[in-house]
Amino acid sequence: MASRAADFPVAGGAGAGFRFRLPPVGAVVPLVALLMAWQIACLTGLFPPQVLVPPSGVARALVDMTQSGELQRHVGDSLFRLTVGFAIGAVAGMAFGAVIALSRLAEAALSPLFMTLWQVPVIAFVPMMVMFLGIDEPFKLAVVAIAAFFPMALATFDGIRGVPRNWFEVAKVYRLRLPQLIRRILLPATVPAVLTGLRVSLTRAWVVLVAAELLAADSGIGQMMEMGRQLFQIDVVLAGVMVSGLIGFLLDRGARWVESRATRWRAA
């Protein structure tokens, strides 16, 4: 047995060795190249500064808005909406997904409607929602919640339906009671699918929120860009593009980190 112990992969390090690891600098190179090309395009006068502000100009706008606190206010407002709206949508989505996964009756009754609504771009609901909810906070929270709801419900449904029947047999053989079955088998078995759903719906909710703010809002990163456009402050618009992209990137990375931490038991 001692000889076998040698090829037992140490927990945490499992599988990591096979992946090609790009040094962190490597990912920065294309970004720097893009910024340089952008800067050169501006310096050569290929585009007039009213249309394309150089990266240096965007950087200056970012610094100014940070110093005045304007950027923080917009980002803060957007993240607040994301947090609240996402929490509502994700919880509702999980509950709905669980119900249609566990009840054949609910599935038969609700899934056609669900699947139809799921095909509608969330933005298409905006005009109607503005009429019902106005353009205040409830409207934006509702948009975010709807955006998070669908992928979350779908992921939860797939997660629960994907639990192998075999595992329920094992639970039956060991006489697990329903609460034990739920806590020890059903929940852990659906965690990977639900976490993937959370990541997908979180980034989706962010994109939809920024878009909704572009259309109708009095604050937030999207509204900041829209105001910049109206005032021909292209540097502000581009600063908004960069900040929303960065936030989306960080949300995805954060969710992936949580995902990999929570499912370390999976084969790498």
Q: Which residues lie near other proteins (CB under 8 A)?
A: 1, 4-5, 8-9, 11, 14, 166-167, 169-170, 172-177, 180, 184-185, 188-189, 191, 263, 265-267
Could you give the CA distance from residue 215 to residue 229 in angstroms, rounded to a whole number? 12
* Comparison of 174 and 232: residue with beta carbon closer to other proteins: 174
* Comparison of 166 and 230: residue with beta carbon closer to other proteins: 166
The DSSP string of 170-199 is HHHHTT--HHHIIIIIIHHHHHHHHHHHHH
* Comparison of 47 and 167: residue with beta carbon closer to other proteins: 167
Residues near 94 by Cβ (< 8 Å), separated by ≥ 6?
A: 152, 153, 156, 194
Taking the complex as a whole, the smallest distance from the CB of residue 19 to other proteins amounts, in Å, to: 16
Could you give the CA distance from residue 181 to residue 184 in angstroms, rounded to a whole number? 5
Could you give the CA distance from residue 30 to residue 68 in angstroms, rounded to a whole number? 31
Taking the complex as a whole, the smallest distance from the CB of residue 20 to other proteins amounts, in Å, to: 22
* Comparison of 83 and 180: residue with beta carbon closer to other proteins: 180
* Comparison of 249 and 265: residue with beta carbon closer to other proteins: 265
- Asked whether the beta carbons of 86 and 205 are under 8 A apart, the reply is yes
Taking the complex as a whole, the smallest distance from the CB of residue 15 to other proteins amounts, in Å, to: 9
Taking the complex as a whole, the smallest distance from the CB of residue 198 to other proteins amounts, in Å, to: 17
| Residue 24, H or E segment | helix 24-43
Taking the complex as a whole, the smallest distance from the CB of residue 253 to other proteins amounts, in Å, to: 23
Residues near 185 by Cβ (< 8 Å), separated by ≥ 6?
A: 163, 167, 168, 170, 171, 176
